[in-house]
């Protein structure tokens, strides 16, 4: 029998307030899942299977249109938990989640998590805190989509994702994915990035984006329509 991922799950912040018995219940309930790049974990409005925790890899939570356009709601990386909303509402997934690269996750069934929340107030508080953070994120997303230009949104995303002024581009970080994060189409996203480079704010290569003028980029990031 495969060894349960005790060390990995015990380090997830969501479970930090559980006692030994509660943590053992989580470990016994957790199923390890593997997903290939491009594979869909679940679809929006399907029944919620449970709580997901990213062990390795990157994924995207999206809302799609019948015409095929996508709005990326959130990128998900190692240590992130998701689908808390499906757990606590009507049991339906609020988004579609798809793997951007080969990924491994833990999945804990909905009924198990709900039972643990009843028995462990610390877990209930942690999930409530996560939900509050999701609401704040969605409010920021609505603000950006409603009040800011695409170029302004592009500037903010670059600033938020840069480490020491550089964004190392993952293989999946294409212009199409960036457009989906910005809530626009590919041509508009391309023009915005080209404009930022043309005015000397950033330098774009195949594998990275370097921020040249963070002060001006910060000013642009807060401009409204």
What is d(CA 108, CA 33) in angstroms, rounded to the nearest whole number?
11
Is it the case that residue 49 has pLDDT exceeding 70? yes
What pLDDT is attached to residue 86? 87
What is d(CA 73, CA 137) in angstroms, rounded to the nearest whole number?
9
Confidence tier at 1 by pLDDT (50, 70, 90): very low
Is it the case that residue 85 has pLDDT exceeding 60? yes
What is d(CA 198, CA 117) in angstroms, rounded to the nearest whole number?
52
150 contacts 189 by C-beta, under 8 angstroms? yes
Instruction: Kindly state the average pLDDT of the residues 145-167.
Output: 92
Summarised one tens digit per residue, pLDDT across range 203-223 is 999 899 999 999 999 999 986
217 contacts 162 by C-beta, under 8 angstroms? no
What pLDDT is attached to residue 23? 84
pTM: 0.83
Domains and CATH numbers, the chain: 6-145 (2.60.120.10), 148-221 (1.10.10.10)
Least confident of 7-16, 115-124, 146-155: 7-16
What pLDDT is attached to residue 144? 87
What pLDDT is attached to residue 3? 44
Instruction: Kindly state the average pLDDT of the residues 166-170.
Output: 92
Confidence tier at 202 by pLDDT (50, 70, 90): very high
**Which residues touch 30 (CB under 8 Å, ≥6 apart)?**
4, 5, 9, 53, 106, 107, 108
Instruction: Kindly state the average pLDDT of the residues 20-27.
Output: 84
Instruction: Kindly state the average pLDDT of the residues 32-54.
Output: 94
What pLDDT is attached to residue 224? 56
Summarised one tens digit per residue, pLDDT across range 57-72 is 999 999 988 888 899 9
Give the position of tokens 């949104």.
153
Is it the case that residue 162 has pLDDT exceeding 50? yes
Is it the case that residue 10 has pLDDT exceeding 90? no
Confidence tier at 14 by pLDDT (50, 70, 90): confident
Instruction: Kindly state the average pLDDT of the residues 175-195.
Output: 93
């Amino acid at each position: 029998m495969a060894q349960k991922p005790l060390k990995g799950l015990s380090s997830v912040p969501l479970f930090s307030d559980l006692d030994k018995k509660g943590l053992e219940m989580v470990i016994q309930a957790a199923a390890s899942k593997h997903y290939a790049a491009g594979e869909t974990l679940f679809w929006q409005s399907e029944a919620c299977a449970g709580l997901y925790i990213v062990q390795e890899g990157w994924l995207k939570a999206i809302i799609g249109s019948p015409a095929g356009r996508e709005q990326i709601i959130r990128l998900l990386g190692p240590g992130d938990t998701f689908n808390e909303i499906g757990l606590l509402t009507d049991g339906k997934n609020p988004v579609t989640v798809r793997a951007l690269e080969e990924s491994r996750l833990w999945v804990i069934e909905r009924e198990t998590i709900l039972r643990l929340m009843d028995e462990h107030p610390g877990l209930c508080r942690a999930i409530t805190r996560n939900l509050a953070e999701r609401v704040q994120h969605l409010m920021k997303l609505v603000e950006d989509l409603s009040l800011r230009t695409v170029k302004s949104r592009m500037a903010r995303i670059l600033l938020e994702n840069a480490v020491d002024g550089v964004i190392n581009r993952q293989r999946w970080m294409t212009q199409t994915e960036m457009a989906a994060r910005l809530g626009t189409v590919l041509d508009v996203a391309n023009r915005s990035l080209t404009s930022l480079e043309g005015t000397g704010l950033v330098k774009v290569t195949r594998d990275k984006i370097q921020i040249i003028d963070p002060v001006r980029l910060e000013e642009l990031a807060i401009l409204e329509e």
